Structure 1
Amino acid sequence: MSAHPHPSIDIRSYGEDQGADRHDFAQLVLPLSGALVIDIAGREAGLDPWRAAFVDSGALHSQASDRPNRSLILDLDPAMLDPEIADRLTGAPFVPLTPAANKLVDCMGLLVGSGQASASTLRLWVPLLLDTLLRVAPRPPSRLAALLAGIEAEPGLSWTTATMAERAGVSVSRLHALFRSEFDTTPHAWLSDVRLTRVREWLARSDRSIAELAYRAGYADQSALTRAMRRATGLTPAAYRRQSRAAAQETTPKTS
């Protein structure tokens, strides 16, 4: 059983299952891009930028992926966690990431990737992240599941609110109400987040031109993608590609 300084954070990528592990510290796995499967004490689930996982101290766990992925790994001293918070996370270790939580994770991902995540920043960020995560009550299976899967599979299609409502089998007004109720966002904002997440994965892992990636993700042209990236990250697609690749060179795949 391994020990680790607390709190600490880094970016990791996972490949084939390297076997189970356990450690004396608690851990949050916060996906930045791609997807992986994690098993925590016999409970298995897929993680992606919309779902994170909490590994309690001493819990046997393993993770694996057959595709490119990057996650923020936050190691926490169990003594830092309020017992009620620890109990909630242990009881429901697979945690949905709302748009608000996603923005916190993305922001810290940029700081860690550029070497700017100071200890003082991390101390301020952790309580805010936990508060944001625990505001989300457990939800029943989404009524939008088929629509969401369709968009994630083909984000480049011409998705309008009308076509999204038709795919979900509801009216446009009902579609807006469901997105607001389940994700506290709009259909258009959710679609934009999916497209940007996919583009960031491609920028980090693919050599395809930015114009082609823009088209594949559903943007009218490269300029439209550049505007969206600037609004979301403060970076152009080219700058994001350079930064993510520089960070990847400094981060070798490792197990927890």
Structure 2
Amino acid sequence: MSTSPRLSIDVRSYGAAHSAHRHDFAQLVLPLSGALEIDIAGKGGRLGPCRAAFVEAGSSHTQTSDGPNRSLILDLDPALLEPAVGDRLIRHPFVALTPVAGKLIDYMGLMLDSRGVSADNLRLWVPLLLDALAEEPARPRSRLGTLLAAVEPDLAKPWTAETMAERACVSVSRLHALFRAELDTTPRAWLAEVRLKRACGWLARSELPIAEIAYRTGYADQSAFTRAMRRATGLTPAAYRRQSRKTRHKSP
């Protein structure tokens, strides 16, 4: 009597490190949020939104994290892996995620959170994921391009150097070096400039309340927004809005 190859998926979070363990099936650790450290057969790495890990069947490993985190854990029979894909994952257990792989992981996370996933759907999803993991990620012209594209549409989020470094999968010191090399500024100064520019645009061209603009651009409150505007322009948000409208109405 034959048995079906092992294939299961769930969402897990990790805390303090436990003793090393191993199992007779392969495993993919696919982060959804937060970050964690993983050691696979003596090789350590940090996982986050753009980096996953493959644990070979029988390989000793440990996971640990000191903050909130959620990951998809895909357990699968090694026989389900194409030889070329399996060999590559064994040689390079830490995998840089392409945008396609990231979208597939996010999709599965949403499905598991909302209504679960049938065995049939999981069997259809896994080959797509493995194909995406086998792709070589395109090397961006700017090391910061992906990070900036994530931050700019989401300015309301309380971004810090630490959270930006985590999103870019680099250390905080490396993040500062990249900002200095590519933009000749610091992460904090760049973020302040982007927030202020976005806020000024909304003041000039929208009817949004000033408090709402402050919230959407990530200021702690309207007072913090007012202080930032005064430092940068010498005007309060309300005065800047009035001046912008006068200028616009005078234009031919």
Aligned residues: 169
1:144 paired to 2:143: yes
TM-score by length of 1: 0.57
Which position in structure 2 is the counterpart of 1:38? Answer: 38
- 1:89/1:218 Cα in 2 relative to 1: closer, same or farther (>3 Å)? farther
**Residues 38 and 61 of structure 2 are in contact (CA less than 8 Å); yes or no, is this contact kept in structure 1?**
yes
The percent identity for this pair of structures is: 57
The worse-fitting range, judged by mean Cα deviation, of 39-48 and 80-89 is 80-89
- Deviating above 6 A after TM superposition, structure 1's stretches of 4 or more consecutive aligned residues are none
Instruction: Summarize deviations over 1:55-86 as a string: whole Å, max 9, x none.
Output: 00000000000000000000010111112111
**Residues 35 and 69 of structure 1 are in contact (CA less than 8 Å); yes or no, is this contact kept in structure 2?**
yes
The worse-fitting range, judged by mean Cα deviation, of 10-19 and 96-105 is 96-105
- 1:216/1:70 Cα in 2 relative to 1: closer, same or farther (>3 Å)? farther
Question: Larger C-alpha radius of gyration, 1 or 2?
Answer: 2
Q: Distance in 1 between matches of 2:97 and 2:6?
A: 23
**Residues 147 and 167 of structure 1 are in contact (CA less than 8 Å); yes or no, is this contact kept in structure 2?**
no
Which position in structure 2 is the counterpart of 1:17? Answer: 17
Which position in structure 2 is the counterpart of 1:247? Answer: none
Which position in structure 2 is the counterpart of 1:100? Answer: 100
Q: Distance in 1 between matches of 2:84 and 2:146?
A: 35
Q: For structure 1, list consecutive stretches of 5 or more residues without a partner in the other structure.
A: 157-163, 172-210, 222-256
Which structure carries more relative contact order (alpha carbon 8 Å, separation 6+)? 1
Which position in structure 2 is the counterpart of 1:167? Answer: 179
TM-score by length of 2: 0.57
**Shift in Å at residue 170 of structure 1?**
4.2
Which position in structure 2 is the counterpart of 1:75? Answer: 75
- 1:137/1:110 Cα in 2 relative to 1: closer, same or farther (>3 Å)? closer
Q: Distance in 2 between matches of 1:35 and 1:114?
A: 23
1:196-211 correspondence to structure 2 within 5 Å: none
**Residues 98 and 137 of structure 2 are in contact (CA less than 8 Å); yes or no, is this contact kept in structure 1?**
no
**Residues 96 and 137 of structure 2 are in contact (CA less than 8 Å); yes or no, is this contact kept in structure 1?**
no
1:114 paired to 2:85: no
**Shift in Å at residue 147 of structure 1?**
9.6
**Residues 51 and 95 of structure 1 are in contact (CA less than 8 Å); yes or no, is this contact kept in structure 2?**
yes
Q: For structure 2, list consecutive stretches of 5 or more residues without a partner in the other structure.
A: 152-158, 165-175, 184-210, 222-252
**Shift in Å at residue 15 of structure 1?**
0.2
Which position in structure 1 is the counterpart of 2:233? Answer: none
1:50 paired to 2:50: yes
**Residues 26 and 54 of structure 1 are in contact (CA less than 8 Å); yes or no, is this contact kept in structure 2?**
yes
**Shift in Å at residue 215 of structure 1?**
4.2
**Residues 147 and 168 of structure 1 are in contact (CA less than 8 Å); yes or no, is this contact kept in structure 2?**
no
